[in-house]
Structure 1
Amino acid sequence: MFSQLKRLGADSLLYAFMNVGTKLIAFALFPFYTHYFPDPAEMGVLGLIDRNFNLLTFLVIFGTDSALAFYYFEYKDKETREKYVRSVMTFRLTIVLILLLVFFAGGDWLSTLLFNSTKYTFLFYIAFGTLFLDTIISLVLTILRYEFKTKRVVLTTVAKMLLTAIFSMLIIAFIWTSLEGVLIGRLISVAIIMLVIIKPVSVYIRPLFDWEILKKILIYATPLVPASLAFYVISNANIFLLNEYSTKINVGIYESATKFATFITLLTTGIQLAWRPFSMSMKDKESSPKLFSSFYAIILLAGCFGVLTLATIMPFVVLMLSENYQSAYAYVAPISIATFLNFYYLIVSTGIFYSKQTKHVSIAFGIAAIISIVLGIVVIPMYDIWGAVIAYVVPYCVALFLVFRKSQKLYYVPFSGFKMAWTIFWLIAATVSIVYIQVKDLNSWLIAGVWIGFIVLILLIRMDKYFVKRK
C-alpha cells in the first residue's frame, strides 16, 4: 500500500505545485488588469466570454477524456493506444470547427445578446483561435499524464500560464490596451507551447476517422455529456437566481467568496489529476478494493481538515480587503464544501468508470441540477446569500451519494457509506458553527472546541481503521 501511496502522493504533490503556480500567476495578473481596465464593465465582458468558452470546452471534450482514460489503459500496445488518441483528437477538432462555423453565422447575434452590441464579436474569434490550439495541447498533456510524465506536464502547464501573463502584460502596456490585447496574449502563449511540444503533437494531430474506435469512445463518453451540462447548471444557477431575487452588491459578495473558496482546489487538483491514471492502472489488481478504501478515507479527511482550516483562517485573509468585501468571509468555507464534493465524487466513482456505466454520473448530476434550480427558487428569496450557498452545497451532497451508491454496486470497495455521510454531515455542522462563532466573536476559544468535537466524532466511528494495514 505504501509504495502505491508514495506514487500517488508524489504525483499529487507535483500537480498541486502546478495548481499553486498557475493560481499565483492568475492572482498577480488581476491587479494589473484592474489598473489598465478601471471600468469593471470591461472585466465583466472578459468574464462572460470566459464563461461561455468554458461551456464550449465541455462540448468539445464531450466526455472523451474519461473514455480515453479507460481505453488507453485497456490496451497495452502503442499502436492501438495511438489510434484512440488520434481518434479523440480528430473528434474534438471537428467539434471546434463546427462551433466556429456556427459562430460565423450567429456571432453578431450572440454578442448583441450578451453585451447589447456587436463590437465584441471580434473577441470571440480570437478566443476561438485559443480554443483550437488549447484543444490540441490539453489532449497531448493528458497523454503525458497517463504515461506518468508528471514533471513535463507540470512544467508545460506553468510555462503556458506564465507566458500568458507576460504577453498579455506586454501587449496591454505597450501595444494594445484593450480586451483584444488580453486575448491575443493568450493566443500567442498557446502557440508557443504548441511549438515546445511539437513532437507528440505531430504524432497525434494526424486525422484518423476510425468509426469502430469512435463508436466505442462515444458510447462510453456520451452519457457523461449531460453531467457536464449539469455541472454548469449547478455552478451558475444560484448566481443567476441571486441576481434575480437579491441585489448586485450581494451578487458581488457571493462572487468574491467563490473566488476565495477555490483555495480548496490547491489541495484537490493535484490529487484529481493524478487519480484517474493511477486508479485505471490499478483496475485489474486483486488488492485494489482495500487499497482504494484507504484512499477514500485519507482524501475525505484531508478535504475536511482543509475546509475547516479555511473556515478558521479566512476572516484574517478577507478582512485585509476593502470594507465592502469583508462580509464575504462567512461564505467562503461553506462554498468550499461544494467545491470539495465536486472533486470527491471522482474519487468514489471508481466502479462506474471501470464498468463503463457512465450514464449514472449524468443521471446523478441531472437530478442534482434540478434540485439546484428548485432549491434556489425556494431558499434564495428567504435567505439571500445563505440561500445561494444552500442551493450550491445540497445538490453536490445528493449527487455524491447517488454516484457512490451506484459505484459500490458495480465495483465494491470496502468503504462505509454511513461513515462517509457521518463525516460530511459533521463537516457541514462544524463549518457553520465556526462561521457563527466568528460572527459573534472572531477570537473565541470555542472555535478550538469545534475542532476537537469534530475530531472526536470522526474517531467515534473509527475512520482510523482504514489506515491500519490489513492482511
Structure 2
Amino acid sequence: MLRAFLTHSLIYGAATIMTRGAALVLLLVLPFFLDPAEYGALALIMTVNAFALILVPLEVTQGLARYFPASPPEEAALYAGSAWWFTLTMLALMIAVGALLAGPASELLLGREGEALLIWIALPMFAGNALFYFVQAQLRWEFRPGEYFLLSLLFSAALVGLALGLASVASRPLEGVIAGQAIAALAVAGIGALLVRRTIFRRPNKEKLGDLLRFSLPLVPGGFAIYTSQYVNRFILNGYSTLADVGIFTFASQIAGIATLLTMGVQASLAPLVMAHYKEPETPTTIARAFEAFVALSLCLCLFLGLLGPDAILHFGDSDYLGAGPLILILAPASVMSGMYVFAPGFMIAKKTLWQMGVSIAGAALSVGMGFLLIPRLGALGAALATLAAAAFWLVLWFGLSQRLYPVPVRWLRLAALLPAAAAAALAGRLIEADGVWMGIALDLAFIAGLAAVAVALDLVPLGKLLRFARRPRS
C-alpha cells in the first residue's frame, strides 16, 4: 500500500498543484481586474458554490467513495450510474429554482439590488463544478491517476484562459470571470464524463441509490457544518463591515490556501487506498507515519507562506490588498487542518456518519460563536483567528473520536515537540527585520530550514526510509 500511496500522491499532488496553480494565477491577476469590493462579491458567490457542491448532490459521491472500491465491477458500475443520474437531476432542479429566485437571492447575498444577472451566470458555474468534481472523483475511485492528471491539466488551462479572457473583454469584469469559469467547468466535465462513460452511463438502480443515500445523507449536515466553519466568517465580516474587507480577507485566505496543495494530493490518493486496504495489519502504521510527515511538511509550507506572503503582496501585488498580508500566517494552518481528517478514517470505515456529523456541527458552532465574538472587535483579524480556532477544535475532536473506531499509532509526543519550534520560527520571522528585501527573504528561508531540520531530527520525515522503500523492486 505504501508504494501505491507514494506513487499516487505524486500524481495526484501534481494534478492538485496544477489546479491550485490555476487558482493562484487568477488570485494574482484578478486584483488588477477587480477592486476589493468586486473581489469580495466574487468570494461570496464562490462560497455559495462550495455549499452547493454539498447540498445539491447530497454528498452522493461520498457514498461512492465507500461502496465503489469495495464492490465487484458490475455492481460498482450500478452505484456509479445511479449517483451520476441523481446528481444531474438535482443540478437541474437547482438551476430552475435558482433562476426564479435570482433577484432576492442576489440582494440577500451581496446586500445590493440589481445583481440578478450575476446569479444567472453563476448557476451554470455551480452545476459545471459539481459535474467536474464528480467525474474527477470517479477517476480516483477507478484508480486512473493518469487520466485524472490530464483532466486536471485541461481544467486548469481552460479555467485560467476563459476566466481571464472574458474578464478582459466584458463590460463588467466580474461577470466575465464567472462566465469563463462556467464554460470551462461544463466543457471539461463533459470530457470527463466521456472518460468514465462505461461506469456512469448506466441505468439508475433504486436499490443502489438507496445504499448511497443512506450513507451520504447523514454526511450532508456534517459537510455543511464543515464549510460553515471555513466560510461563515466571510458572511459575518460582510455583515459587520464591507464587501471590500471581505475581498481582503478572501485574498489572504486564497494565498493561505496554497498550503492545501499538499493536503489535496495526499487526500486524493489516501482515501481510496485506505478503503481498499484498511483490513491489512500494516495499514494503520502506514497512515500514522504518513500523517507525521504530512504535519511536518505542512508546518514548513505554512511558515513559508506566512513569512514571504506579505512581502510578495507589498512588492508585486495591488496596494489595495496590503491588509491581507498579516492574515496569511493565521489562515494557512487553518486551511491545512481542514484536510487532515483523511488520516483519521475511523468514521468512514465504521460507517459512523452520525458521529462525523456531530463533530462537524460542533466545529461549525464554535466557528459561528467565535466569529460573532471577534469580528465586531477585530474585523478581518478576528475572522482569521475565529477560523483558526474552529479548525483546531474540529480536528482534535475528529481525531479523538476516530481513534476509538480505527486506532492509528501516531507518535503524538514527537509532533508536540515540533509545535514550539514552529511557533518560535513564526514569531522570530515576524519580529526580526532585516536590511533589504533579499536579506529578509534569506532570513525567512533560514527559519523555514531550521524548522525542517527539527522535523527530520525528530524522525517525522524519514527521508532515507522512504527513498529506500520507493527503490525496492516490485514483488
Normalising TM by the smaller chain, what interval? 0.7 to 0.9
Displacement, 1:209?
A: 4.1
Displacement, 1:115?
A: 4.5
Name the CA shift for 1:245/1:198 in 2 (closer, same or farther; >3 Å): closer
Written as runs of structure 1 = structure 2, the 5 A alignment for 1:225-304 is: 225-244=220-239, 251-304=246-299
Amino acid aligned to 1:358? T
Name the CA shift for 1:73/1:115 in 2 (closer, same or farther; >3 Å): closer
Name the CA shift for 1:382/1:454 in 2 (closer, same or farther; >3 Å): farther
Unmatched 5+ stretches in structure 1:
none
When normalised by structure 2's length, the TM-score is 0.83
Displacement, 1:427?
A: 6.3
* Residue in 2 that maps onto 1:26: 23
* Residue in 2 that maps onto 1:337: 333
Tell me if 1:363 matches 2:390: no
Amino acid aligned to 2:82? S
* Residue in 1 that maps onto 2:75: 80
Q: Distance in 2 between matches of 1:209 and 1:131?
A: 23
Name the CA shift for 1:203/1:235 in 2 (closer, same or farther; >3 Å): same
Displacement, 1:177?
A: 6.1
Q: In 2, are the aligned partners of 1:86 and 1:206 still within 8 Å (CA)?
A: yes
Tell me if 1:166 matches 2:194: no
Q: Distance in 1 between matches of 2:235 and 2:104?
A: 21
* Residue in 2 that maps onto 1:58: 54
Tell me if 1:429 matches 2:423: yes
* Residue in 2 that maps onto 1:47: 43
Amino acid aligned to 1:18? A
Displacement, 1:312?
A: 3.6
Amino acid aligned to 1:336? A
Q: Distance in 2 between matches of 1:112 and 1:384?
A: 23
Q: Distance in 2 between matches of 1:453 and 1:114?
A: 42
Q: Distance in 1 between matches of 2:229 and 2:18?
A: 27
Unmatched 5+ stretches in structure 2:
467-475
Amino acid aligned to 2:221? P
Amino acid aligned to 2:59? G
* Residue in 2 that maps onto 1:139: 134
* Residue identity (%): 24
Tell me if 1:157 matches 2:152: yes
Q: Distance in 2 between matches of 1:465 and 1:137?
A: 36
Deviations 1:245-285 (Å, cap 9, x if unpaired)? 56777555433322211121222221121111121221221
Written as runs of structure 1 = structure 2, the 5 A alignment for 1:372-411 is: 372-411=367-406
Name the CA shift for 1:83/1:136 in 2 (closer, same or farther; >3 Å): same
* Residue in 2 that maps onto 1:16: 13
Written as runs of structure 1 = structure 2, the 5 A alignment for 1:431-446 is: 432-438=426-432, 443=440
* Residue in 1 that maps onto 2:473: none
Corresponding pairs, count: 461
Deviations 1:45-85 (Å, cap 9, x if unpaired)? 4433322222111113423222211111221x211000011
Written as runs of structure 1 = structure 2, the 5 A alignment for 1:409-424 is: 409-417=404-412, 419-420=414-415, 422=416
Name the CA shift for 1:284/1:104 in 2 (closer, same or farther; >3 Å): same
Query: How large is the RMSD of aligned CA atoms in angstroms?
Result: 3.5
Q: In 2, are the aligned partners of 1:308 and 1:430 still within 8 Å (CA)?
A: no
